Structure 1
Amino acid sequence: VTLSAAIVAGTNVNYTWNFGDGQSAGPIAVKDVKHIYTSPGRYTATVIARNSVSQVLATTNVVINVPPITNLQVVSDSPSVLGVPTNFSASIGTGINVKFKWNFGDGQEAEGQNVSHLYSKMGKYTVSVTAYSDLNNNDVQDDNEVTATTTLEV
């Protein structure tokens, strides 16, 4: 993020910045600064412009947004053999602090990006995974069909 202080008049001005995230810069002689916020959120940045005659304080709000969760994809090693765990893996294109919740279609659930599940009855199951983050309200869901058989089809 680039922040700029606009001073109408004054000479020999130094600027002291507080970015609202525990980081600061200055005093420095330049009125434009760049800062990298490492976490999404709302911050109040302040700058004090000071010279030998006076000082002025200004504040601004900085909002760092969370990228949405995109491109949720599921991979499994279905068809499944009864008594042998089926492995599932979820991947996303973008997202921060993303968690995954699985529903295996047989009343069982699990959490994690990579999970295994053991089916106890033959049949076709719709497996759902939901990708979510506590940082935003952008839940994404994907479904995958799994077939559980008594023997592996070749």
Structure 2
Amino acid sequence: KNGEFTVNIALIHKDTPVLGVVYAPALNLIYYAQKDRGAFKQEKNKKPQRLPIYNHVHNDVFKVIVSKSHYNQETKEFIDNLKNQYGKNEFINISSSLKFCLIAEGKADVYPRLAPTMEWDTAAAQAIIEQSGGRVVNFYNKAPLNYNKASLFNPWFICSR
């Protein structure tokens, strides 16, 4: 409908994503990363750009990415806390793994996901986030998400720079 769908490919070593590709074919856009080699964004007919592209400074505005389809009471409470902590918030609505990629670029500060996801929804983007200097951590214990678990469901998580 809006071109924001992605194809996600990840390589997991033990329980950690070490390679990730997020491809948005309708946008002619690809993000990719490999452990210890960095993260990159490439648009059609352009050279790859190392991530983060922007060294985002809050400038009194904390940029929060919210899911178009999974905005719930828990997410609202988390965002209200951010508003109390940082003052003014700006919201960015975008679909799919592109949420992670905007944070990897430096265009946003945080993406709280306080609703269900599966490992295949996050692994590729987590590799990109981590290689760009960001983090994807369990909402409860702040540990990085891990993979190849008995259950393929992810815990709630926070993606940030």
Q: TM (normalized to structure 1)? A: 0.21
Q: Which has the higher helix share?
A: 2
Q: Which has the higher strand share?
A: 1
Q: TM (normalized to structure 2)? A: 0.20
Which protein has the larger Cα radius of gyration, Structure 1 or Structure 2? Answer: 1
| Greater relative contact order (Cα < 8 A, sep 6+) | 2
